[in-house]
Chain A
Amino acid sequence: MVTRSPASDARLGAEAVRRALTAKRADTRGLVFRLALLTCLLVSLLVLVVLLADTVLGSLSVWRTRGLADFVRSPLSADPAVAGIWQAFYGSAILMAFVVALAVPLGVATAIYLEEYASDSRLAQVINANIRNLAGVPSIVYGLLGLALFVKALGSVTGPEVFGRSLISGGLTLAPLALPVIVIAAAEALRAVPDSIREAAVGVGATPWQTIRHHVLPVAAPGILTGIILSVGRAFGEAAPLLLVGGITTFFQQAAGSGFLEVLQGRFSALPVLVFSWSRLPQEEFRALTAALIVVMLVLLLAINGTAIYLRQRYEKEL
């Protein structure tokens, strides 16, 4: 067999070159690989679609008979005809406020110190590795910490009337859960800021603080923001640690007319805790209520992530 090469084709003339260039080879393996990838994508998408459709269809009867406003604003109840999610909705909102107020400043500050001030030290490397491990710790372990520390040891402060099983204990338990993800995301965003920007700022006489505040942080902000929102989203969906620190699974009366501190020190529930408890109730009507509750949670999560994307794009446009 005569081996052909580009050079021999060229020597044979234009016709041979034309034939070689237009003779398409069938790339069967490539095609199969591509189809396999597409199948994987469709399978995972299908699972998601089935799950979503099942939930949304299951919740339809609630929307028809009760409406969204009534469902959200009605208090918890054992009677499925009037049961709503108000205390859990309110509880989740305050818990997220706790997470943002505690974990964001701590997490971002930790990341700034590790990346900008101690980037090369042995201590920073050890801390970094530990934070990565913390991010992988099962959430129930944070629940155990919360139970031992905030409920048992500090119960007289966090919730004197309710044996420490208060909103404050719930918030203090969720905040450290979100912390490692925020540190990791913020550190990665800071590392992605090109050194040329730091050099430029330092070169015109900026102090290390001015360099970080005026130049590094604004550039890293979209990445930091995304990390914050993702971790808040994770904390939002956690049921296990809250069950341990006393999230109410049935129904309870919020101390009527009490001040904000009393609310914080009082009993609480949260949306994922309610999903857990409603799904175990025997009455058939609670199936639809649970589905409706999950739809509310999904919409809220979508709203949170949507805000993250919107803020991120607006920030990036300004640069």
Chain B
Amino acid sequence: MESVTKPDREVRVEAKPRDTSDSHETVFEIAGLTVTYGSVTAVEGVNLDIRSREITALIGPSGCGKSTVLRCLNRMNDLIPSARVGGKVLYHGIDIYDPGVDPVEVRRRIGMVFQKPNPFPKSIYENVAYGARIAGIRDLDGVVEESLRKAALWDEVKDKLDTSGMALSGGQQQRLCIARALATDPDVLLMDEPCSALDPIATLRIEELMLELKDEYTFVIVTHNMQQAARVSDRTAFFSIEVTPQGRRGRLVEYDRTEKIFTSPSQKETEDYITGRFG
């Protein structure tokens, strides 16, 4: 759900050749999402619609629950035994937390790239081919080349596909992880602070990559870096921490088109964060 905007405020919109119209289909409908780890509530009452073929950024201070929300979108939180998810996460209208839904099938459609590059300790080829192989895809050579090309890594590694993925540089490893996620031809790619361990040049390459690929894939990116959100995303969700008698918990403050969030946010809290007054 988008928060209320104030129409009387002047909006300085940058001239971007980017399609920010509302014609994009909704991929995720998140309604009343609450996640608890044991007795700690990480995030509460999140309502968010994520649109197809767009880059949606989740920003906010540490501990605001933005990564938790991201990890709900492909049921990655299932790996944490104490995590409990309430509310609804509808993916193309289907609640992925419905007992009848197979989480493995969910993750084949909704790929993920993690904060720290985590290639398998196997060859570059095997890293990319793995997801496709277990999904039953036959033409692995083709998939590997196509995925590595899409991840802008093919030219750098085409002559050493059988060397270990761990031997690559950090930025290359992260692009390898993107290629690995692309190999199953997912619908959505979740990026959990994908550049936080990378230098500025490697970061830029990942950002360019996302912009190139967004015509084919839907991206949701969690980032600590506000400039990054401003550079790549179409929509931005700002999360913050609310201190309650029961403890600190994350909540969604504002969700809107990125240029609106960064130029004329409707909430004072958002503006304070964007302008660097806190967090």
With A120-B82, A214-B130 given, is the CB distance from A204 to B111 under 8 Å? Answer: yes
Rounded to whole Å, the gap between the CB of A122 and the closest CB of chain B is 12
A202-237 interface code vs B (CB 8 A; 1 in, 0 out):
111111001000110011000000000000000000
Name the residue of chain B whose CB is nearest to the CB of A195.
B79
User: Which one of A195, A197, A205 lies within 8 Å of B120 (CB-CB)?
Assistant: A197
Stretch from B45-53, B178-186, B209-217 at the A interface: B178-186
Complex contacts, A219 vs chain B, CB 8 Å: 121
Complex contacts, B107 vs chain A, CB 8 Å: 202-205
B128-141 interface code vs A (CB 8 A; 1 in, 0 out):
00110011000000
Q: Interface of chain B, helix or strand or loop or mixed?
A: mixed
Would you call B121 and A205 a contact (CB within 8 A)?
Answer: no
Cβ of B260 < 8 Å from any Cβ of A?
Answer: no
B interface, size bucket: 20 to 34
A201 to B180 Cα, complex, angstroms: 10
Cβ of A285 < 8 Å from any Cβ of B?
Answer: no
With A196-B116, A197-B118, A219-B121 given, is the CB distance from A202 to B79 under 8 Å? Answer: yes
Would you call B76 and A202 a contact (CB within 8 A)?
Answer: yes
Cβ of B104 < 8 Å from any Cβ of A?
Answer: yes
Would you call B130 and A119 a contact (CB within 8 A)?
Answer: no
Cβ of A42 < 8 Å from any Cβ of B?
Answer: no
Q: Interface of chain A, helix or strand or loop or mixed?
A: helix
A215 to B133 Cα, complex, angstroms: 14
A130 to B180 Cα, complex, angstroms: 42
Would you call A203 and B181 a contact (CB within 8 A)?
Answer: yes
Would you call B184 and A205 a contact (CB within 8 A)?
Answer: yes
Rounded to whole Å, the gap between the CB of B273 and the closest CB of chain A is 29
A201 to B134 Cα, complex, angstroms: 10
With A120-B81, A206-B134, A210-B134 given, is the CB distance from A201 to B120 under 8 Å? Answer: yes
Would you call A200 and B114 a contact (CB within 8 A)?
Answer: yes
Count of A interface residues, CB-CB < 8 Å: 22
Cβ of A199 < 8 Å from any Cβ of B?
Answer: yes
Complex contacts, A119 vs chain B, CB 8 Å: 81
A61-84 interface code vs B (CB 8 A; 1 in, 0 out):
000000000000000000000000
A194 to B119 Cα, complex, angstroms: 12
Name the residue of chain B whose CB is nearest to the CB of A121.
B81
| Central interface residue in B81, B111, B134, by most chain A CB within 10 Å | B134
Cβ of A261 < 8 Å from any Cβ of B?
Answer: no
Cβ of A198 < 8 Å from any Cβ of B?
Answer: yes
Rounded to whole Å, the gap between the CB of B268 and the closest CB of chain A is 37
| Central interface residue in A119, A195, A199, A210, by most chain B CB within 10 Å | A199
18 residue pairs bridging A and B, Cβ less than 8 Å apart: A120-B82, A194-B118, A196-B116, A197-B118, A197-B121, A199-B114, A199-B118, A200-B118, A200-B120, A203-B74, A203-B107, A203-B112, A203-B114, A204-B107, A204-B183, A205-B107, A206-B131, A218-B121
